[in-house]
Amino acid sequence: MPETETIVVIGAGVTGLSTALYIQQHLLPTQSILLVAKDFPDSTSVNYASPWAGAHYRPVPGSSPQFIREENQARRTYNYFKKLASQDPAAGIEPIEGIEYLENPPAEYKDAESVQNGYGHLDGFKQLSQDELPPDVKWGVRYQTFVINSPVYCAYMLRKFILKGGQKREYTLADPKEAFHLADNVRTVVNCSGTGMGDPKSFIIRGQTCLIRNPCNVTLTRQNSDGTWSFCIPRPLDGGTIIGGTKEPHNWDPNPCPETRAQLLANAAKWFPFTAESGGQFDVIRDIVGRRPAREGGMRIETEKVAEGRFVVHAYGAGGRGFELSRGVAEDVVLLMFEGGLLRQKASL
């Protein structure tokens, strides 16, 4: 009888969970899967970014190879969210109208091809004319998108993984190669560790947001004239509304800044369509600080041979786009594993 092989996935953020679930669908009877992470969906570490995310599906226009790759992954994720939202409300994903208003749009927002690359696949996409825009806004769009209750979605994926026979282990790894020694007959380690563990191109982006009880029926993103961004993201399943936010590369401060909170809420009172009874006042549940694991040049998605018969498949560094790219990244990882003979597609029944 063939020896059972264990595939180890490192990291239980949205990328790791999505990837582990998708790999699990393609396991042979002689393969098992182990998810190893320092933090799981019941954790509250500032370094465990996924449960802190807004999160919503929002495109980013562009025409560089990195943007094209990411939009291909995002497009597949959008279609997956559409299917999941209609089939399983317990996932914490809901369709909603998305609106964007930019006061000082960067060049890629003015380029028709870049906008088409980023937004063309969205249901109901419409670029707004000047007379449809608020004062001071130079560029705007509407489209059908999705909002995600991020803690619920992460817990949902972990629950599905366990119910389908996956194993998990809470463990702090020093190096991806250490994972080869955490189970019997490990040939493949999938590195969804966020920062990659020692990659000099990796860095963190600090984000501060505010979770409030006030309801909102759209997700709205606004770029301010000084280049900063504000957004409101309602969380499904009565999860409140996220008001954001900041993007601060290399800032390791774990403490929420009161002045930042005041500015976020002041912007929200001016621009976001909360119900009239809010009266510009917000019922704050908590301040949130999280560290998005980013990487120069975008995500690293590739296979590395680390020893004879041992391979690490890397998939980390999504920055603030983990949820938007998650399913597409998982599919790309499985494709790499097929190409390398690390997984074999199940025969169609």
Name the residue type at position 147.
V
Quickly tell me which residue has 């088409």 as its tokens. 116
Which pLDDT score, from 0 to 100, does residue 277 have? 67
Domain span at residue 297?
5-340
Residue 161: inside a domain, yes or no? yes
Domain assignment present for residue 63? The answer is yes
The per-residue pLDDT for 212 is 95
Give domain status of residue 100, yes or no: yes
Q: How many domains does the chain fold into?
A: 1
User: Edge-to-edge, what's the strand order for the sheet holding 31-37?
Assistant: 167-170, 31-37, 5-10, 186-191, 310-316, 300-307
> Rounded CA gap, 240 and 26, in Å?
36
Dihedral pair phi/psi, residue 191, rounded to 5°? -95, 90
Q: Rg for the chain (alpha carbons), in Å?
A: 21
348 belongs to a structural domain: no
**In a domain? residue 349:** no
Model pLDDT, residue 348? 43
In this predicted structure, what is the pLDDT of residue 2?
Answer: 65
**What pLDDT was estimated at residue 347?**
46
Please tell me the predicted confidence (pLDDT) of residue 225: 86
Q: Which residues contact 279 (CB under 8 A, 6 or more apart)?
A: none
Quote the pLDDT of residue 170.
96
pLDDT attached to residue 346: 61
What is the pLDDT at residue 349?
Answer: 37
Q: Is residue 346 part of a domain?
A: no
SS3 content of the chain, % helix, strand, coil (to 5): 30, 30, 40
- Residue 172 burial by CB count (10 A; 0-12/13-18/19+): exposed, middle or buried? exposed
- Angle of the 112-119 helix axis to the 65-87 helix axis, nearest 10: 30
* Phi, psi (deg, nearest 5) at residue 174: -95, -25
Per-residue CA distances from 87 to 19, 122, 163 (Å): 20, 19, 18
At 281 the pLDDT is 83
CATH code assigned at 299:
3.30.9.10
pLDDT for res 121: 93
What pLDDT, on the 0 to 100 scale, is given for residue 240?
94
Q: At what angle do helices 322-339 and 65-87 cross, to 10 degrees?
A: 100
Instruction: For the beta carbon of residue 223, count every other beta carbon within 10 angstroms.
Output: 21
Mean pLDDT of successive 10-residue stretches along the chain, which has 349 residues: 87 98 94 96 88 91 89 96 96 97 94 91 96 95 97 97 97 96 96 94 96 93 89 95 94 96 91 75 92 95 96 96 97 96 68
The pLDDT score that the predictor gives to residue 43 is: 85
Q: Is the pTM of this model over 0.85?
A: yes
